[in-house]
Structure 1
C-alpha cells in the first residue's frame, strides 16, 4: 500500500484520483492527478513535490509550475562572515522566478589579492522566497592581515548582488607575548625612573 500526497506550494495544488493505492509485487500502478493553480496565485515559478510513502520508504518527485504573468528575478547575498578557514553567507531569492545562482569570490589584503575565484555556477536551484545558507572554503586564510571579502552573485534574468565583510587576523600567541614583553619593559623603565 502506497500513500500519495503533495508537499510544498505547487505540491499542495495536486489532487490524486486516490490518495492510497495498493500495488501488487512486481507491478506498477498509474494514478491520475490534477494540478489546479488557485486563481489568486502570484505570477512566477512555484515548486513542490509529489510524495509516495509505503513500507518504510519515501519517494519524492519534484514539481515545478510556471504561472503566467510578469516575472521578477531578484537575488541577494546576505550575512557574509569570515570564520576560520571558511566564508559563510546566505543567498535569498526575493523574486518570483526560479534562479540558478553563480558566485564569484575575491579577497583583498593589505598587500594585494589573496583569493580570486571567477564566477561559477553553484550546485543549487533557488525557488522564489527561499533562503539558503552556504559556506565557501578558504583553507589559506592568512595568520596576519586585514582582509576584505567580496562576494558577487548573479542569475538569469539580470539578477545580481554584491556583499562584503572585513576581518583582521592577528596571531594570538605572538601578540600576547609582545604585549607581555612591552608591559615588562614598561614596568622596568618605571622602576628605573623612580630610583
Structure 2
C-alpha cells in the first residue's frame, strides 16, 4: 500500500490554502468565498485535520494514491474535469501551472483514470481518488505539480508536493545585481536561480559600504517566494536607505534551509543630478564673468602703457603740428 506522508518541511510560502484559482501559465490566486459554485481541496477523514495541499513521497517506480474532494454548493449539477499539471515559477516568482499539452513532468504522472470527468449533484460533496505513478528513472528531489479541476471556464488548482526519495541538494545562485531608482524609491534588482533539487524558501540580507561614511543596508528577511527546483526568478529589494551622494559597494547574501547560500556584489554611484546641473550652470556663468573682467582689464592696460623707446608717437585726431621758426631768412 502506498503511504501518504505528512509535510515535514517548513517554509512553504505559496499555496498555503487548498484551492487555488488559476489560469494555465499564470499565477494562481486563492479560491475565495465571493466565487461560489464549487470547490476543490484535499479530502480528509471525519477526524482528520484539513490539509492545505497534497504531499506525496515515494521511490522510483512507486504508485502513490490520494483523494480529491469536490463540493457543489449550488442548486444545479456540476460537471468537473480533472487533470494533473506541472508547476513552475513565473518570472516574478509566483506559483503557476502549465497547460495539459505542456505538462511533461510530475503533472503527467497524475491520473484520475475513468474519473477524469465527474458529475457532482447539487449540494453534494464527491471524493475522487487519483494516483501518481513515479517513473523508474525519476531523479530524487522535489517535482512540483498540481491537480487542476475545470468547470465552466473556471479552473481551481490544488498544490501537490511530490518528492522522489533519495539524496537532496539545496543550492542557489544570485545573478544580475543592479541598482535602480533614486531616493526613497531606490531598489536593488537581482535574479535567483535554484541550482538544487528541492524547493527553497530563501532569505535575503543586503550589506552596503560607501566612500563617504556608513550606508544602511537591509537585515536578513524572508522573501515572498518559494523557489522551485531549476527555476529562475527576477526580484527587487526596496532600499530606502540609499545615499544621496556616494559610491557604494553592495553585497547581497541569500540563504535557505538545507545549507543553501550565495553572495553577489555590485557597485553603484549615487549623484544628485539636479543639484549637480544647477551647480555646473552656476560655475559656467561665474567663469564667463571672470573671463570678461580679465579681458577688460588687459584692454585698459594696453591703452595706458607708453610706447617703447624710438617708436613714433601717433598723432591724435584734431591736433596740428607746432610751427617752427626758421633762422637766416628775411622777414
Calculate the TM-score normalised by the size of structure 1: 0.89
1:123 aligned residue: 224
5+ residue gaps, structure 2:
1-78, 87-104, 300-331
**Post-superposition offset of 1:114:** 2.1
1:174 aligned residue: 275
1:34 aligned residue: 131
| SS of 1:31 mapped into structure 2 | strand
2:205 aligned residue: 104
**Post-superposition offset of 1:116:** 3.3
| SS of 2:127 mapped into structure 1 | coil
**Post-superposition offset of 1:185:** 3.9
| SS of 2:276 mapped into structure 1 | helix
Moved more, 66-75 or 153-162: 66-75
**Post-superposition offset of 1:118:** 2.4
Q: 1:64 and 1:11 mapped to 2: Cα distance?
A: 11
Query: Any conservation in 2 of the 1:106–1:113 contact (CA below 8 Å)?
Result: no
Q: 1:83 and 1:24 mapped to 2: Cα distance?
A: 55
1:16 aligned residue: 112
5+ residue gaps, structure 1:
none
Query: Any conservation in 2 of the 1:11–1:63 contact (CA below 8 Å)?
Result: no
Pairing 1:1-195 to 2, within 5 Å after superposition: 1-8=79-86, 9-17=105-113, 18-84=115-181, 85-190=186-291, 192=294
**Post-superposition offset of 1:188:** 4.5
| SS of 1:105 mapped into structure 2 | strand
Q: 2:205 and 2:108 mapped to 1: Cα distance?
A: 36
Q: Deviations over 1:146-190 (max 9, x none)?
A: 112211011122110001221111111221122223333444455
| SS of 1:114 mapped into structure 2 | coil
Q: Across the two proteins, how many residue pairs are aligned to each other?
A: 195
Q: 1:128 and 1:165 mapped to 2: Cα distance?
A: 26
Q: 2:108 and 2:251 mapped to 1: Cα distance?
A: 39
Q: 1:189 and 1:170 mapped to 2: Cα distance?
A: 28
| RMSD of aligned alpha carbons | 1.9
Q: Which has the larger radius of gyration?
A: 2
Q: Deviations over 1:34-63 (max 9, x none)?
A: 101122222111111110111332211111
Q: 1:187 and 1:41 mapped to 2: Cα distance?
A: 77
Q: Deviations over 1:83-139 (max 9, x none)?
A: 112111121101111111111112222233322332222232211011122221123
| SS of 1:143 mapped into structure 2 | coil
Q: 1:148 and 1:53 mapped to 2: Cα distance?
A: 51
| SS of 1:182 mapped into structure 2 | helix
| SS of 2:225 mapped into structure 1 | coil
Q: 1:113 and 1:12 mapped to 2: Cα distance?
A: 54
